[in-house]
Structure 1
Amino acid sequence: MSSAAVPDGPRGDADRGGPRAALSGLTTRGRSFLAAGVAAAVCAYVLGQADLLRVGLLLAVLPLICVLVLHRTRYRVATSRLLTPQRVETGTEARVRLRMENVSKLPTGLLMLQDHVPYMLGSRPRFVLDRVEAGGRREVSYRVRSDLRGRFPLGPLQLRLSDPFGMCELTRSFSAYDTLTVVPRTEALPPVGLFGEAAGYGEGRQRTLALAGDDDVIPRAYRHGDDLRRVHWRSTARYGELMVRREEQPQRARCTVLLDTRGVAYRGAGPDSAFEWAVSGAASALVHMLERGYTVRLLTDTGSAVPGEGVAEGFGGAVQDPADSAGLMMDALAVVDHSEGAGLSRASDVLRAGGDELLVAFLGDLDEEQASLVARTRGRAGAAVAFVLDSGAWLNGGPVSGAAGNRVRQLRGAGWTAIAVPPGARLPDLWQQAAGVRAEAGADTPHGGWA
């Protein structure tokens, strides 16, 4: 929510040109009256017609009086903008509420509110307010939507004041603005499980510290209500106060979602392109894994990870709230674009340094060298699933090429559960298909898995 105020009526912070700026606000009607008055005065002087001179002076003076009165009118106007929600998926509407309050002791004349909106969000909204009494409020609203990802500024708000005769209009701009974040559309994925899974903890792998040996226990001070059976007597004797064993600390399974953003790996652009499908797929996967209890990080071919190295080794959802982690990664996906890199070596280095987490990759076109690199990246990952896109097929609307099929088979030979993504495919269907492919392969790894 943002707010702003014009402190001194139409003079505000935009009144920098004085009377000259006010004269520039003459409308077509005002300029016509002024021109007609000057012409009538000249004709009256040439023809010696006093009555015509009076008419000319009236026509010329009327718009000038309106400019003077409007320019010297002093009032205070406060405005606010409320954007709900501030983060939406592509194709989803957000609502913007504008509130204008006349905080001066004088009523306003005719007002027009106009909010600056990027063309991707629709036409520029305009509202006409007839008259706002002293201390009165008016509230208007409009909706915005975008089929493209990104961060879009809303504002600044413009206030246009007009005199009752429509001779002059003065425009004042407010400085406050809001930002609408349009994130990729996500799809609900089926809860397939290839290994035994405990609800809420990914693979159900958790280590109970309360059952560890005395040397492995990190005790804490006794708190009112703690079970006396959990008292750790050795630590109590060492510290001189009652100490208890720490509660069970579940070690949640980890998942890395790899998004290939290389510009050379994708052809075409727009909401229906292969790259946008990959971005939407990555968003759906990370949200799904967070909901299943995994700690998740988003990794791109550039080697950068979200939420970042400072949050549980780059994984969100461990010490951070899963909703906050999802918000950070979705914000990153809202503005992600093609990278200038030609390879996946940086991402491979990050993955090789990792442990036995689940790896879900969304890959563009792969040449033989990059396919071999991805195959070796399988490394120590507990389970690796790759969705390989053929951008040429997406661009032409044809079947997946033989080259893309060969890359899928190469990855499967290295232990990946690789799936070729045909044009227009739905990720939930491919997600289910990947589970079937892995089940048929009879893969049995002691760690990792996916849900």
Structure 2
Amino acid sequence: MSAGGKSAGRDPSPAGLYVALAGLTTRGRSFLAAGLAAAVCSFVLGQADLLRVGLMLAALPLVCVAVVYRTRHQVAGSRRLDPGRVPAASEARVQLRIDNVSRLPTGVLMLQDRVPYVLGPRPRFVLDRVEPGGRREVSYRVRSDLRGRYPLGPLQLRLADPFGMCELTRAFSGYDTLTVVPRAEPLPAVRLSGEAAGYGDGRYRSLALAGEDDVIPRGYRHGDDLRRVHWRSTARHGELMVRREEQPRRARCTVLLDTRRTAHRGAGPDSPFEWAVSGAASTAVHLLERGYSVRLLTDTGSSVPGHDGAGGHASAHDSADAAGLLLDTLAVVEHSDGAGFSRAHDVLRQGNEGLLVAFVGELNEEQATLLARLRQRSGVAVAFVLDGAAWARGAAGADPGPLEERLRLLRDAGWAALPVAPGMALPELWRQADQYRAHHSGVSAPGAANGGWQ
């Protein structure tokens, strides 16, 4: 929800007056020409009455110009967008408000707001006379099937006098931005291993009292329970040392999105790339709601949140803001010109991930091999691999081709790798991933107990 531009001050320069005179309509120009012709004829014919008629005809459009020109600089406009962030294929409401801040009533007003063509037709409204100090409010709705960030405005206002002699158009300076985020589907609450949050000596903890330095026994502090004294450390350090309390651990997840241009075929809301973006959004929102700390990572190595690809994870304690940050990023993510996952591998090898969920396009053997190595940096790894050939045909084909070889390579490395064909729903694939992990429970990797799926 935000406000648009407001009225500007009067421009008394000759250029401003010239613009006002240029707003004369055909009727206004005809009256002005007739008045001047009548004045010339009065001098030629010596008719004083004809001069008075000519002056009246010429004065009427000039008076209308002056009135409209004055009103033009004493009208304020604003815009309110609700909500400012909507999922794809959902509507947002835009409310326009016009205030007459002058002491004179306005004539007929035509209101027009500029919107990108993907949001629908350009809205136009005709407003009758607005009394001094009065206001008028109108609204319209916008909708887009394509994610992105779209500007609304500037607002344009066309003013006309009651006689139709003059029309002036002004544009307000303010504009708003509508963010269309990918649609996030609700996912079933399944569990592969571990919990999103619990108690124990897991590697990923939320140390509420003393931070990361509290991993080892610390010195005694006034008020500590004497039952927590760690006698072995006390004897070694020569001072009282206490055990840290068991703290609730926080599971972490990285959502890997493959944005390579060569990995995805087609374009538009039904393309495989848009399915992958929507899947990444659904996964991030779902896991944030269940207490995970989530990070979005692309094949280019860019990480959100964070800078230079080395950022941390979005906090699960404020899931609404974290989800908004990730969705805003996914709203504008585009194809990359990368060829593989080497940069993403460099980011992931800096730490151990509890859960890794990847949405990838077509893979060759080299790319699949590098993607398989990423499994070593996670406890549980799930990959949704889009079947490019099936998407090109519009349905799952009989011959899977090299896709099965790529899936087998990932599964041998410990991934729960599932193919994705057109028409498949992510919630069902989510359940299949859980069933796959339950069926192959013997497949594990270092740190597997630290990650969870929920």
TM-score range, shorter chain: 0.7 to 0.9
- Check if 1:367 corresponds to 2:367: no
Alpha-carbon spacing, 1:63–1:385, altered in 2? closer, same or farther (3 Å) = same
* Equivalent residues of 1:383, 1:449 under 8 A apart: yes
Which of 332, 337, 346 is residue 335 of structure 1 equivalent to? 332
Which of 166, 169, 173 is residue 167 of structure 2 equivalent to? 169
**Counterpart in the other structure of 1:263:** 261
Which of 315, 318, 323 is residue 317 of structure 1 equivalent to? 315
**Counterpart in the other structure of 1:184:** 182
* Equivalent residues of 1:257, 1:361 under 8 A apart: yes
* Equivalent residues of 1:202, 1:253 under 8 A apart: no
**1:134-168 Cα shifts (integer Å, max 9, x gaps):** 22222221111111111111111122211111121
Which consecutive residues of structure 2, in runs of 5 or more, have no partner in the other structure? 232-241
- Check if 1:18 corresponds to 2:16: yes
Deviates more, 1:326-335 or 1:103-112: 103-112
Q: Distance in 2 between matches of 1:285 and 1:313?
A: 19
Q: Distance in 1 between matches of 2:260 and 2:155?
A: 38
**Counterpart in the other structure of 2:91:** 93
* Equivalent residues of 2:261, 2:338 under 8 A apart: yes
**Counterpart in the other structure of 1:145:** 143
Q: Displacement of 1:25 after TM fit?
A: 1.3
* Equivalent residues of 1:75, 1:105 under 8 A apart: no
Deviates more, 1:342-351 or 1:207-216: 207-216
Q: Distance in 1 between matches of 2:372 and 2:215?
A: 43
Q: Displacement of 1:40 after TM fit?
A: 8.0
Q: Displacement of 1:91 after TM fit?
A: 0.6
Deviates more, 1:436-445 or 1:426-435: 436-445
* Equivalent residues of 1:75, 1:103 under 8 A apart: no
Alpha-carbon spacing, 1:174–1:248, altered in 2? closer, same or farther (3 Å) = farther
Q: Distance in 2 between matches of 1:213 and 1:4?
A: 53
Q: Distance in 1 between matches of 2:356 and 2:302?
A: 16
**1:102-152 Cα shifts (integer Å, max 9, x gaps):** 223222222222222111111122222212222222222111111111111
**1:178-211 Cα shifts (integer Å, max 9, x gaps):** 111110001001111122436x559995759799
Which of 273, 280, 283 is residue 281 of structure 2 equivalent to? 283
Q: Displacement of 1:43 after TM fit?
A: 9.5
- Check if 1:450 corresponds to 2:448: no
* Equivalent residues of 1:87, 1:181 under 8 A apart: yes
Matches within 5 A, 1:283-302: 283-302=281-300
* Equivalent residues of 2:147, 2:332 under 8 A apart: yes
- Check if 1:411 corresponds to 2:402: no
Q: Displacement of 1:413 after TM fit?
A: 1.4
Alpha-carbon spacing, 1:368–1:229, altered in 2? closer, same or farther (3 Å) = same
* Equivalent residues of 2:92, 2:141 under 8 A apart: yes
The one-letter amino acid paired with 1:141 is: S
The one-letter amino acid paired with 2:327 is: M
The one-letter amino acid paired with 1:422 is: A
Q: Distance in 1 between matches of 2:346 and 2:50?
A: 89
Alpha-carbon spacing, 1:230–1:277, altered in 2? closer, same or farther (3 Å) = farther
Q: Distance in 1 between matches of 2:216 and 2:199?
A: 28
Alpha-carbon spacing, 1:387–1:45, altered in 2? closer, same or farther (3 Å) = farther
Alpha-carbon spacing, 1:336–1:213, altered in 2? closer, same or farther (3 Å) = closer
**1:266-285 Cα shifts (integer Å, max 9, x gaps):** 11100000000000000000
Q: Distance in 2 between matches of 1:220 and 1:115?
A: 65
Matches within 5 A, 1:359-398: 359-398=356-395
The one-letter amino acid paired with 1:324 is: D
Alpha-carbon spacing, 1:228–1:389, altered in 2? closer, same or farther (3 Å) = same
* Equivalent residues of 1:230, 1:245 under 8 A apart: no
The one-letter amino acid paired with 1:303 is: G
The one-letter amino acid paired with 1:272 is: D
**Counterpart in the other structure of 1:2:** 3
Q: Distance in 2 between matches of 1:154 and 1:283?
A: 25
Q: Distance in 1 between matches of 2:437 and 2:215?
A: 41
Q: Distance in 1 between matches of 2:427 and 2:200?
A: 20
**Corresponding residue SS for 1:18:** helix
**Corresponding residue SS for 1:6:** coil
* Equivalent residues of 1:5, 1:76 under 8 A apart: no
Alpha-carbon spacing, 1:187–1:30, altered in 2? closer, same or farther (3 Å) = same
The one-letter amino acid paired with 2:155 is: L
**1:45-81 Cα shifts (integer Å, max 9, x gaps):** 9999999988777655543332233224576333322
Alpha-carbon spacing, 1:203–1:326, altered in 2? closer, same or farther (3 Å) = farther
Deviates more, 1:401-410 or 1:283-292: 401-410
Alpha-carbon spacing, 1:215–1:420, altered in 2? closer, same or farther (3 Å) = closer
**Corresponding residue SS for 1:68:** helix
Which of 139, 152, 155 is residue 154 of structure 1 equivalent to? 152
Aligned residues: 434
**Corresponding residue SS for 2:129:** coil
Matches within 5 A, 1:106-121: 106-121=104-119
Alpha-carbon spacing, 1:97–1:449, altered in 2? closer, same or farther (3 Å) = same
Q: Displacement of 1:356 after TM fit?
A: 3.6
Q: Tell me the TM-score normalized by structure 2.
A: 0.84
Alpha-carbon spacing, 1:358–1:233, altered in 2? closer, same or farther (3 Å) = closer
* Equivalent residues of 2:198, 2:250 under 8 A apart: yes
Which consecutive residues of structure 1, in runs of 5 or more, have no partner in the other structure? 235-243
The one-letter amino acid paired with 1:363 is: V
Deviates more, 1:186-195 or 1:129-138: 129-138
Q: Distance in 1 between matches of 2:69 and 2:113?
A: 23
* Equivalent residues of 2:34, 2:57 under 8 A apart: yes
* Equivalent residues of 1:75, 1:102 under 8 A apart: no
**Counterpart in the other structure of 1:241:** none
Q: Tell me the TM-score normalized by structure 1.
A: 0.84
**Corresponding residue SS for 1:189:** coil
